Structure 1
Amino acid sequence: MNGTSHSRIGLSSYAFFWQLSDQVSQPLSIHDALRSAADLGVTLFQICDYAPLEKMNDDELAAVRRTADELGITLEVGTKGIRPEHLRKFLHIAQALGSDLLRTMFNVPGHTPDNEEATRIFTDVLPDYEAAGVRIAVETYEQVPTEQILDVVRRVNSPYLGICSDPANTVAALEMPRQVIDAVAPFVLNMHIKDFMFSRKQGWVGFTYSGAPLGEGLLDYDYMIEKIQPKERNINQIVEHWLPWQDSEAETIRLENQWTQQSLDYLRSK
């Protein structure tokens, strides 16, 4: 197991969202994305909501692990949903990749567990995670009130269940970033770092809520760090983007890479 001995800055597959997608003419493989991360001096990569991961057999998972090991990169894994069989499958994937953390979210189409069910599931599944040394971090997002997620985390009351903080997501449910940061701070196991902003739509009819280059939007990074204290608590910070598709593939890829570099520079300067 590669335990987290200190807080690290990592990249998410969401930092390569467009380049990994079939929206581009030559999509990157996950191996390509890992090599790009290594070229940027990054030693932590979170493969998050990356559909092909679920379909990989053990040989393919071992190949991803091998690429990461050769590059000196530690892997983390992210998925959505908490059905017991799904969590057990992803424990296997996490172990195959040497990840000591699984990020997930409560709801998937067809399964929206209430607090009682979520508590039962985690209580049932966590002994296997604990035995494997893998923690589960539930992400804050607009579909489930933050207080509901925290209620489950408190009920389960295990060091192997906590929060993946992302105050950008909760704004869509009118939960203010600072309030979310304050509420989740004691329970955070993982942090997603993405900036966000509102821009007026054409004709002044409403707003678009989307990403911003880190340090240029509404994310109060200094406040978040002061509250959560990732360095002191060995919490990794994972870079993501909400980058809208641009006028062309080339421009989208250029901007995606630029945002990634800006995010890394910003976090390293802190």
Structure 2
Amino acid sequence: MTNSNPSNPTPPPLDRRKFLKAASFGALAMSFAHLPDFFKQEKMGIVVHSYGVRWQSKTASDKYPAFMDAIDFMKHCHAIGAGGIQVGVRDWKEDFAKKVRDHRERLGLYLEGSIALPKKQGDVASFDHEVKSAREAGASVLRTVSLGPRRYEALHSYHEFQEFQNNALTALQLVEPVLKKYRVRLAVENHKDWRAQELVDILKKVDSEWIGVTLDFGNSLALLEDPLYTANTLAPFVFSTHIKDMAVDQYEKGFLLSEVPLGQGILDLQAIARLCRQHNPKVTFNLEMITRNPLEIPCLTHGYWTTFEGVSGMELAPVLKLVREKKTTLPRIDKLNAEELLAEEEKNVTLSLDFSKNTLIFN
């Protein structure tokens, strides 16, 4: 898709200079239309969700042993040539955080954490502990999500969506002092919950140099947004990314959406990556290649639309046109046994790593 969107034109870079300066990227980020080699990330990182099958797996496998903790995960990612990891930091004790730090430094990897937002004031102490542990291990960026489930599955009216917005804003306001105390940035993902401008509006209300975005390259399609439009809107606030490629197919209630190895899908990965680098030369590219059955996006049903206001058929039509033109047979895991599923997951990750080394701008 292009970033042409009649009802959602590419937005102006609102507050971009102010935001980047506050986030310590400064005017440097705006000075290069084509970034020199020393700004390019040498190796892509890996999100733990890329190993959703193998992470703490109960399957006994000699070839694909389970990753029981962040250190197991880190060692494997280093062995296959990744540059870093993004992994959950919940319940990390001080001694474990120090072990993660030691392994990370020895292997020369970067670390990003994944963390849940507090639901109420009483949860902030736990959040504080997790941020402190992550910082001790060497993480300066933590990815989070505001909702968790998909918007069109978890919410059933625009009123419910407004409540979600208010709760998300409150949570971000609660954690801002913690982030400032430990000098750790929180990156909110567009996780099939926020449309791009909705997320920007929340960030502007929080107005903190410590809170920005994890830009997921493909999630926006599920909410009928052109990925390039989403990238243009969110890149001025980007701290981290989930890089993925997507393939599509039709089904009776809308369309199917599936992660595929990088370079095998429909996304303009190079263009989105370039936008992120342009706005933040320090941004990380973290592979989220989830091996699973296709997701159903029921955009032709009434229930799908109940949480939206001001979204029209003008935005649905281009997506359905894209699906019709680019539809393909999507990968499924139904018939794979446990060992075959582990093998498929590893293949998808390594194919994506190879593509990133040979093709993308952060070689």
Q: Structure 1's 24 and 211: CA in aligned 2 closer, same or farther, altered over 3 A?
A: farther
Q: CA RMSD in A?
A: 3.0
Residue number in structure 2 paired with 1:29: 68
In the alignment, residue 139 of structure 1 is paired with which amino acid?
A: E
Give deviations 1:203-245, integer Å, cap 9, x for gaps.
x886532211111112210221232226962100001112124
Residue number in structure 1 paired with 2:244: 194
Residue number in structure 2 paired with 1:74: 110
Residue number in structure 1 paired with 2:46: 11
Residue number in structure 2 paired with 1:125: 175
Give deviations 1:19-76, integer Å, cap 9, x for gaps.
114353352223222111111232311104xxxx423322233333333233222211
Residue number in structure 2 paired with 1:250: 339
Matched residue of 1:54: which SS?
coil
Report if aligned partners of 1:7, 1:231 keep a CA contact under 8 Å in 2: no
Give deviations 1:146-168, integer Å, cap 9, x for gaps.
32221121122222111100132
CA distance in 1, matches of 2:213, 2:235: 9
2:350 equivalent among 250, 261, 269: 261
Report if aligned partners of 1:80, 1:107 keep a CA contact under 8 Å in 2: no
CA distance in 1, matches of 2:250, 2:171: 43
Aligned ranges for residues 150-189 of structure 1 at < 5 Å?
150-189=200-239
CA distance in 1, matches of 2:129, 2:218: 28
Matched residue of 1:55: which SS?
coil
Matched residue of 2:218: which SS?
helix
Report if aligned partners of 2:132, 2:182 keep a CA contact under 8 Å in 1: no
Residue number in structure 2 paired with 1:210: 258
Report if aligned partners of 2:217, 2:241 keep a CA contact under 8 Å in 1: no
In the alignment, residue 240 of structure 1 is paired with which amino acid?
A: E
Structure 2, unaligned runs of 5 or more: 1-23, 26-37, 155-159, 293-332
In the alignment, residue 259 of structure 1 is paired with which amino acid?
A: N
CA distance in 2, matches of 1:199, 1:24: 31
TM-score when normalising by structure 1: 0.83
Residue number in structure 2 paired with 1:62: 98
CA distance in 2, matches of 1:230, 1:10: 19
* Residue 144 (structure 1) aligned with residue 144 (structure 2): no
Residue number in structure 2 paired with 1:89: 129
Q: Structure 1's 228 and 57: CA in aligned 2 closer, same or farther, altered over 3 A?
A: closer
In the alignment, residue 65 of structure 1 is paired with which amino acid?
A: R
Q: Structure 1's 232 and 104: CA in aligned 2 closer, same or farther, altered over 3 A?
A: closer
CA distance in 1, matches of 2:129, 2:244: 28
Residue number in structure 2 paired with 1:41: 81
The Cα of 1:87 is off from its aligned counterpart by 3.5
Q: Which structure has the bigger radius of gyration?
A: 2
Structure 1, unaligned runs of 5 or more: none
The Cα of 1:117 is off from its aligned counterpart by 4.8
CA distance in 1, matches of 2:254, 2:182: 48
Matched residue of 1:80: which SS?
coil
Identity %: 22
CA distance in 1, matches of 2:58, 2:257: 21
In the alignment, residue 283 of structure 2 is paired with which amino acid?
A: I
